[in-house]
Chains A and B, each alone.
Chain A
Amino acid sequence: MTIQQQEWLVAGIKHEIFMRIFPTLRHGLVGPISIARMSASIVRRLLSKGESSKAALGEPVERIDQQLAEAVAGIRALQAWEPEASGLAIPAEILRQGIALMTAPLALRDIKMDYVPSDIQDLEEVRQQPFLYAWLALLCYFEDQLNEPATLRLEQKEPRSVCVEVTRPFYDVNQTKGRAKAHARIIDKFALEAVANAGGFRLKFGQEWASFSWT
Protein backbone atom coordinates (compact mmCIF):
# COMPACT_ATOMS: atom_id res chain seq x y z
CA MET A 1 0.00 0.00 0.00
CA THR A 2 1.39 3.42 -0.90
CA ILE A 3 1.64 6.17 1.70
CA GLN A 4 -1.16 8.01 -0.06
CA GLN A 5 -3.39 4.93 0.02
CA GLN A 6 -2.59 4.48 3.69
CA GLU A 7 -3.54 8.12 4.38
CA TRP A 8 -6.86 7.72 2.55
CA LEU A 9 -7.55 4.56 4.49
CA VAL A 10 -6.95 6.29 7.83
CA ALA A 11 -9.00 9.30 6.70
CA GLY A 12 -11.91 6.98 5.87
CA ILE A 13 -11.78 5.27 9.25
CA LYS A 14 -11.57 8.63 11.03
CA HIS A 15 -14.59 9.78 9.06
CA GLU A 16 -16.54 6.75 10.29
CA ILE A 17 -15.48 7.47 13.89
CA PHE A 18 -16.44 11.11 13.54
CA MET A 19 -19.86 10.18 12.16
CA ARG A 20 -20.49 8.04 15.24
CA ILE A 21 -19.83 10.86 17.68
CA PHE A 22 -21.29 13.61 15.50
CA PRO A 23 -24.82 13.22 16.95
CA THR A 24 -23.34 13.68 20.44
CA LEU A 25 -21.49 16.82 19.36
CA ARG A 26 -24.69 18.15 17.83
CA HIS A 27 -26.65 17.16 20.94
CA GLY A 28 -24.20 19.14 23.07
CA LEU A 29 -24.79 22.25 20.99
CA VAL A 30 -28.54 21.83 20.93
CA GLY A 31 -28.75 21.80 24.77
CA PRO A 32 -28.03 25.50 25.40
CA ILE A 33 -30.01 26.54 22.33
CA SER A 34 -32.95 24.54 23.65
CA ILE A 35 -32.82 26.36 26.99
CA ALA A 36 -32.51 29.71 25.21
CA ARG A 37 -35.52 28.86 23.08
CA MET A 38 -37.62 27.79 26.07
CA SER A 39 -36.62 31.01 27.81
CA ALA A 40 -37.64 33.01 24.73
CA SER A 41 -41.04 31.27 24.86
CA ILE A 42 -41.34 32.27 28.52
CA VAL A 43 -40.51 35.89 27.65
CA ARG A 44 -43.03 35.85 24.82
CA ARG A 45 -45.76 34.53 27.11
CA LEU A 46 -44.98 37.09 29.81
CA LEU A 47 -45.13 39.89 27.26
CA SER A 48 -48.41 38.61 25.87
CA LYS A 49 -49.82 38.86 29.41
CA GLY A 50 -48.64 42.50 29.59
CA GLU A 51 -45.86 41.59 32.01
CA SER A 52 -42.81 43.56 30.98
CA SER A 53 -41.17 44.46 34.27
CA LYS A 54 -37.46 44.01 34.76
CA ALA A 55 -38.20 41.69 37.68
CA ALA A 56 -40.20 39.33 35.48
CA LEU A 57 -38.08 39.46 32.34
CA GLY A 58 -34.61 39.89 33.84
CA GLU A 59 -34.02 36.25 34.69
CA PRO A 60 -35.15 34.63 31.42
CA VAL A 61 -33.32 37.24 29.36
CA GLU A 62 -30.14 36.69 31.39
CA ARG A 63 -30.56 32.95 30.87
CA ILE A 64 -30.88 33.41 27.09
CA ASP A 65 -27.65 35.41 27.11
CA GLN A 66 -25.78 32.80 29.17
CA GLN A 67 -26.99 29.90 27.08
CA LEU A 68 -26.12 31.62 23.81
CA ALA A 69 -22.63 32.29 25.17
CA GLU A 70 -22.37 28.59 25.99
CA ALA A 71 -23.55 27.62 22.51
CA VAL A 72 -20.94 29.93 20.96
CA ALA A 73 -18.21 28.34 23.11
CA GLY A 74 -19.38 24.93 21.93
CA ILE A 75 -19.34 25.99 18.29
CA ARG A 76 -15.83 27.41 18.68
CA ALA A 77 -14.69 24.16 20.31
CA LEU A 78 -15.58 22.34 17.08
CA GLN A 79 -12.35 23.80 15.74
CA ALA A 80 -10.60 20.88 17.46
CA TRP A 81 -11.98 18.61 14.72
CA GLU A 82 -10.58 20.57 11.81
CA PRO A 83 -7.83 18.72 9.91
CA GLU A 84 -5.17 21.28 10.78
CA ALA A 85 -6.05 21.43 14.48
CA SER A 86 -2.90 21.30 16.58
CA GLY A 87 -4.30 21.84 20.07
CA LEU A 88 -2.67 20.20 23.06
CA ALA A 89 -4.29 18.70 26.14
CA ILE A 90 -3.36 16.42 28.99
CA PRO A 91 -4.17 12.73 28.36
CA ALA A 92 -6.67 12.39 31.24
CA GLU A 93 -8.67 15.27 29.78
CA ILE A 94 -8.75 13.66 26.34
CA LEU A 95 -9.71 10.29 27.82
CA ARG A 96 -12.65 11.95 29.60
CA GLN A 97 -13.62 13.77 26.40
CA GLY A 98 -13.70 10.48 24.48
CA ILE A 99 -15.78 8.83 27.20
CA ALA A 100 -18.27 11.71 27.14
CA LEU A 101 -18.55 11.47 23.36
CA MET A 102 -19.07 7.70 23.36
CA THR A 103 -21.43 7.37 26.34
CA ALA A 104 -24.63 7.81 24.33
CA PRO A 105 -23.68 5.68 21.28
CA LEU A 106 -22.55 2.86 23.58
CA ALA A 107 -25.64 3.15 25.80
CA LEU A 108 -27.81 2.58 22.72
CA ARG A 109 -26.02 -0.77 22.45
CA ASP A 110 -26.34 -1.63 26.15
CA ILE A 111 -22.67 -0.97 26.79
CA LYS A 112 -21.73 1.09 29.83
CA MET A 113 -18.39 2.59 30.70
CA ASP A 114 -16.88 2.60 34.14
CA TYR A 115 -13.96 5.02 34.33
CA VAL A 116 -11.80 4.18 37.31
CA PRO A 117 -10.12 7.33 38.67
CA SER A 118 -6.36 7.01 38.68
CA ASP A 119 -3.69 8.40 40.99
CA ILE A 120 -1.31 8.62 38.04
CA GLN A 121 -0.55 12.26 37.33
CA ASP A 122 0.17 12.47 33.63
CA LEU A 123 0.38 16.20 33.14
CA GLU A 124 2.49 16.34 29.99
CA GLU A 125 0.33 17.64 27.17
CA VAL A 126 -0.08 15.67 23.95
CA ARG A 127 -1.59 16.57 20.58
CA GLN A 128 -5.29 16.31 21.20
CA GLN A 129 -6.72 15.28 17.85
CA PRO A 130 -4.67 12.14 17.00
CA PHE A 131 -4.90 10.98 20.60
CA LEU A 132 -8.65 11.48 20.68
CA TYR A 133 -9.18 9.67 17.36
CA ALA A 134 -7.12 6.68 18.51
CA TRP A 135 -8.96 6.56 21.84
CA LEU A 136 -12.35 6.82 20.12
CA ALA A 137 -11.26 4.12 17.67
CA LEU A 138 -10.58 1.81 20.60
CA LEU A 139 -14.02 2.49 22.12
CA CYS A 140 -15.66 2.02 18.70
CA TYR A 141 -13.77 -1.26 18.35
CA PHE A 142 -15.37 -2.56 21.55
CA GLU A 143 -18.73 -1.19 20.45
CA ASP A 144 -18.52 -3.31 17.32
CA GLN A 145 -17.03 -6.41 18.95
CA LEU A 146 -19.56 -6.78 21.74
CA ASN A 147 -22.88 -8.33 20.90
CA GLU A 148 -24.43 -8.45 24.36
CA PRO A 149 -24.73 -6.05 27.30
CA ALA A 150 -21.40 -5.31 28.92
CA THR A 151 -19.45 -2.77 30.89
CA LEU A 152 -16.12 -1.39 29.77
CA ARG A 153 -13.84 -0.83 32.72
CA LEU A 154 -11.44 1.95 31.77
CA GLU A 155 -8.40 2.26 33.93
CA GLN A 156 -5.03 3.94 33.73
CA LYS A 157 -3.03 1.22 35.48
CA GLU A 158 0.38 2.56 34.50
CA PRO A 159 1.73 5.88 33.22
CA ARG A 160 1.04 6.67 29.55
CA SER A 161 -1.32 3.79 29.10
CA VAL A 162 -5.00 3.06 29.53
CA CYS A 163 -6.60 -0.37 29.70
CA VAL A 164 -10.11 -1.23 28.54
CA GLU A 165 -11.48 -4.39 30.08
CA VAL A 166 -14.82 -6.00 29.30
CA THR A 167 -16.97 -7.06 32.24
CA ARG A 168 -20.32 -8.75 31.72
CA PRO A 169 -23.31 -8.90 33.99
CA PHE A 170 -24.05 -12.32 35.48
CA TYR A 171 -27.62 -12.02 34.34
CA ASP A 172 -29.35 -9.36 32.36
CA VAL A 173 -33.05 -9.37 31.68
CA ASN A 174 -32.43 -7.73 28.33
CA GLN A 175 -30.03 -10.34 27.06
CA THR A 176 -32.59 -12.02 24.87
CA LYS A 177 -33.73 -8.71 23.38
CA GLY A 178 -32.45 -7.71 19.99
CA ARG A 179 -29.73 -5.09 20.05
CA ALA A 180 -29.56 -1.88 18.10
CA LYS A 181 -28.77 -2.36 14.44
CA ALA A 182 -25.08 -2.95 13.87
CA HIS A 183 -23.02 -0.38 12.03
CA ALA A 184 -22.52 -1.00 8.36
CA ARG A 185 -18.86 -0.11 8.69
CA ILE A 186 -17.13 -2.03 11.40
CA ILE A 187 -14.14 -0.74 13.33
CA ASP A 188 -12.22 -3.99 13.54
CA LYS A 189 -8.70 -4.67 14.75
CA PHE A 190 -7.26 -3.66 11.40
CA ALA A 191 -9.08 -0.32 11.36
CA LEU A 192 -8.20 0.36 15.00
CA GLU A 193 -4.52 -0.38 14.41
CA ALA A 194 -4.44 1.79 11.30
CA VAL A 195 -5.68 4.84 13.24
CA ALA A 196 -3.51 4.12 16.29
CA ASN A 197 -0.35 3.57 14.20
CA ALA A 198 -0.97 6.76 12.23
CA GLY A 199 -0.91 8.70 15.50
CA GLY A 200 2.12 6.83 16.86
CA PHE A 201 0.20 4.92 19.54
CA ARG A 202 0.66 1.32 20.64
CA LEU A 203 -2.03 -1.25 21.25
CA LYS A 204 -2.01 -4.57 23.09
CA PHE A 205 -4.84 -7.06 22.98
CA GLY A 206 -5.88 -9.74 25.43
CA GLN A 207 -8.81 -12.11 25.70
CA GLU A 208 -11.29 -9.54 26.98
CA TRP A 209 -9.19 -6.43 27.13
CA ALA A 210 -7.05 -4.04 25.11
CA SER A 211 -4.63 -1.35 26.17
CA PHE A 212 -3.64 1.83 24.49
CA SER A 213 -0.26 3.49 25.14
CA TRP A 214 1.36 6.72 24.16
CA THR A 215 4.89 8.12 24.42
Chain B
Amino acid sequence: MDRQVRQALIIEDYQAAAETFKELLEMLGCEANYVMAGAEAPQALSQRDYDVVFMDLNLPDISGIALVKQLRTLAAGRMPKFVAVSGYAEAELGKEASDLFDFYLEKPLDMNNLERILQSF
Protein backbone atom coordinates (compact mmCIF):
# COMPACT_ATOMS: atom_id res chain seq x y z
CA MET B 1 0.00 0.00 0.00
CA ASP B 2 1.38 3.39 -1.04
CA ARG B 3 -0.64 5.61 1.20
CA GLN B 4 1.45 7.31 3.84
CA VAL B 5 -1.36 8.18 6.20
CA ARG B 6 -3.25 5.26 7.63
CA GLN B 7 -6.91 5.74 8.39
CA ALA B 8 -7.50 4.05 11.71
CA LEU B 9 -10.71 3.34 13.58
CA ILE B 10 -10.56 2.49 17.27
CA ILE B 11 -13.45 0.63 18.92
CA GLU B 12 -12.94 1.00 22.65
CA ASP B 13 -15.54 1.57 25.35
CA TYR B 14 -13.23 3.22 27.86
CA GLN B 15 -12.84 6.84 26.84
CA ALA B 16 -9.45 7.48 28.44
CA ALA B 17 -8.04 4.47 26.59
CA ALA B 18 -9.66 5.48 23.30
CA GLU B 19 -8.37 9.05 23.48
CA THR B 20 -4.86 8.03 24.45
CA PHE B 21 -4.71 5.41 21.72
CA LYS B 22 -5.97 7.97 19.18
CA GLU B 23 -3.27 10.42 20.26
CA LEU B 24 -0.64 7.72 19.96
CA LEU B 25 -1.78 6.65 16.50
CA GLU B 26 -1.76 10.26 15.35
CA MET B 27 1.81 10.59 16.55
CA LEU B 28 2.60 7.55 14.44
CA GLY B 29 1.20 9.29 11.37
CA CYS B 30 -2.33 7.90 11.32
CA GLU B 31 -5.61 9.73 11.08
CA ALA B 32 -7.60 8.15 13.85
CA ASN B 33 -11.18 8.19 15.06
CA TYR B 34 -12.84 6.23 17.78
CA VAL B 35 -16.25 4.93 18.70
CA MET B 36 -17.14 3.72 22.16
CA ALA B 37 -19.69 1.01 21.41
CA GLY B 38 -19.88 -1.89 19.03
CA ALA B 39 -23.24 -0.60 17.81
CA GLU B 40 -21.57 2.57 16.48
CA ALA B 41 -18.91 0.71 14.54
CA PRO B 42 -20.86 -0.27 11.38
CA GLN B 43 -21.84 3.33 10.70
CA ALA B 44 -18.33 4.60 11.37
CA LEU B 45 -16.92 2.00 9.01
CA SER B 46 -19.40 2.95 6.29
CA GLN B 47 -18.40 6.61 6.47
CA ARG B 48 -14.72 6.24 5.65
CA ASP B 49 -12.35 3.83 3.97
CA TYR B 50 -10.41 2.69 6.99
CA ASP B 51 -7.11 0.89 6.55
CA VAL B 52 -7.15 -0.60 9.99
CA VAL B 53 -9.64 -1.20 12.77
CA PHE B 54 -8.35 -1.62 16.32
CA MET B 55 -10.99 -3.39 18.34
CA ASP B 56 -11.15 -3.90 22.07
CA LEU B 57 -12.58 -7.39 22.49
CA ASN B 58 -14.26 -6.64 25.77
CA LEU B 59 -17.07 -4.34 24.67
CA PRO B 60 -20.17 -4.00 26.83
CA ASP B 61 -22.77 -4.27 24.06
CA ILE B 62 -21.39 -7.01 21.82
CA SER B 63 -18.58 -9.54 21.91
CA GLY B 64 -15.55 -8.66 19.80
CA ILE B 65 -15.95 -11.92 17.91
CA ALA B 66 -19.57 -11.20 16.94
CA LEU B 67 -18.65 -7.65 15.99
CA VAL B 68 -15.72 -8.53 13.74
CA LYS B 69 -17.91 -11.05 11.89
CA GLN B 70 -20.49 -8.33 11.35
CA LEU B 71 -17.92 -5.76 10.23
CA ARG B 72 -16.24 -8.17 7.83
CA THR B 73 -19.60 -8.71 6.15
CA LEU B 74 -20.26 -4.97 5.92
CA ALA B 75 -16.81 -4.03 4.64
CA ALA B 76 -17.45 -6.00 1.51
CA GLY B 77 -15.26 -3.82 -0.72
CA ARG B 78 -11.85 -2.80 0.50
CA MET B 79 -11.32 -4.78 3.64
CA PRO B 80 -9.49 -3.03 6.48
CA LYS B 81 -7.10 -4.95 8.65
CA PHE B 82 -8.74 -5.96 11.90
CA VAL B 83 -6.59 -5.83 15.00
CA ALA B 84 -7.82 -7.39 18.23
CA VAL B 85 -6.72 -5.37 21.25
CA SER B 86 -7.07 -7.11 24.56
CA GLY B 87 -5.69 -7.56 28.02
CA TYR B 88 -6.29 -11.28 27.59
CA ALA B 89 -3.54 -13.41 26.19
CA GLU B 90 -4.17 -14.49 22.60
CA ALA B 91 -4.39 -18.16 23.58
CA GLU B 92 -7.19 -17.38 26.06
CA LEU B 93 -9.37 -16.00 23.30
CA GLY B 94 -9.58 -19.24 21.38
CA LYS B 95 -8.91 -20.24 17.80
CA GLU B 96 -12.03 -18.60 16.38
CA ALA B 97 -10.88 -15.17 17.58
CA SER B 98 -7.38 -15.76 16.22
CA ASP B 99 -8.81 -16.72 12.82
CA LEU B 100 -11.09 -13.70 12.58
CA PHE B 101 -8.46 -11.05 13.24
CA ASP B 102 -5.46 -10.15 11.10
CA PHE B 103 -3.37 -9.12 14.08
CA TYR B 104 -3.46 -9.34 17.82
CA LEU B 105 -2.20 -6.60 20.12
CA GLU B 106 -1.92 -7.43 23.78
CA LYS B 107 -2.37 -4.76 26.44
CA PRO B 108 -0.33 -3.04 27.76
CA LEU B 109 0.42 -1.99 24.21
CA ASP B 110 3.96 -2.44 23.04
CA MET B 111 5.00 0.40 20.73
CA ASN B 112 7.25 -1.83 18.65
CA ASN B 113 4.39 -4.26 18.00
CA LEU B 114 2.05 -1.42 17.13
CA GLU B 115 4.53 0.12 14.69
CA ARG B 116 5.24 -3.32 13.19
CA ILE B 117 1.53 -3.82 12.53
CA LEU B 118 1.16 -0.40 10.93
CA GLN B 119 4.16 -1.03 8.69
CA SER B 120 3.09 -4.50 7.64
CA PHE B 121 0.35 -3.60 5.16
Contacts and interface: CB of A to CB of B under 8 A. Distances in A.
Interface string A6-31: 00000000000000000100111111
B111 A31 contact: no
Contacts, number: 71
Contact of A31 (B17, B65, B66): B17
Contact of A38 (B20, B88, B92): B20
Interface residues of A, number: 31
Interface centre among B14, B21, B27, B86 (most CB of A within 10 A): B27
Nearest to B92: A23
Contacts of A178: 96
B111 A34 contact: no
Interface in B80-119: 86-89, 92-94, 96, 107-109, 111
B87 A34 contact: yes
Given A26-B87, A30-B87, A33-B108, A38 B94 contact: no
27 contacts: A23-B88, A23-B92, A26-B88, A27-B107, A28-B87, A33-B107, A33-B108, A34-B87, A34-B108, A39-B20, A41-B24, A41-B109, A41-B111, A42-B20, A42-B23, A42-B24, A45-B27, A63-B16, A67-B16, A103-B60, A104-B57, A107-B63, A107-B65, A108-B63, A108-B93, A110-B63, A177-B96
Interface of B: 14, 16-17, 20-21, 23-24, 27, 57-58, 60, 63, 65-66, 86-89, 92-94, 96, 107-109, 111
